[in-house]
């Protein structure tokens, strides 16, 4: 019985993770401009080696779940250095907020979810 419950839990967790992955797009230099060109977009710049990035990631996932009309993306800074230079990103994690292709705000480092949410609300 416990084994069956564990299987159900794992299956549901996998479903939730897949839904979040579909809500948060992986971006790179070739698809970034098109992605941010319309509407409100929140872009998380991160790197696999960055411990603070892993702390911030669940906060971005929570916002993506709450704000379904906003586009969310992640950019691996190690693989997309031109975007780091283009947007003058010198520290990770950095979250950029776009409205209709224009950079509207940014957040650097790990900040509370409500700080990110207030920046997002301001754009809506």
Q: Average pLDDT of 88-97?
A: 98
In 3D space, the residue among 122, 92, 90 whose CA is nearest the CA of residue 104 turns out to be 122
Q: Mean pLDDT, to the nearest integer, of 2-15?
A: 76
pLDDT tens column, 30-46: 999 999 999 999 999 99
Which residues carry out catalysis?
A: 50, 53
Please state the φ and ψ torsions of residue 48, each to the nearest 5 degrees: -60, -30
Q: In which band, very low, low, confident or very high, does the pLDDT at 7 lie, cut at 50, 70 and 90?
A: confident
**Residue in this structure with the two tokens 């586009």, named with its chain if needed:** 71
pTM of model > 0.75: yes
What percentage of the chain reaches a pLDDT higher than 70?
92
Whether omega before 93 lies within 30 degrees of 0, making that bond cis, reads yes
């Amino acid at each position: 019985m416990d084994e069956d419950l564990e299987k159900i839990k794992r299956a549901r967790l996998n479903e939730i993770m897949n839904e979040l992955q579909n809500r948060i797009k992986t971006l790179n230099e070739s698809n970034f401009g098109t992605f941010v060109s319309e509407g409100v977009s929140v872009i998380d710049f991160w790197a696999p080696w960055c411990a603070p990035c892993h702390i911030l990631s669940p906060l971005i996932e929570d916002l993506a779940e709450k704000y379904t009309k906003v586009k969310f993306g992640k950019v691996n800074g190690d693989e997309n250095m031109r975007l780091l230079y283009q947007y003058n990103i010198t520290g990770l994690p950095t979250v950029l907020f776009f409205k209709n292709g224009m950079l509207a705000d940014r957040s650097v480092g790990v900040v509370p979810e409500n700080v990110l949410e207030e920046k997002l609300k301001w754009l809506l």
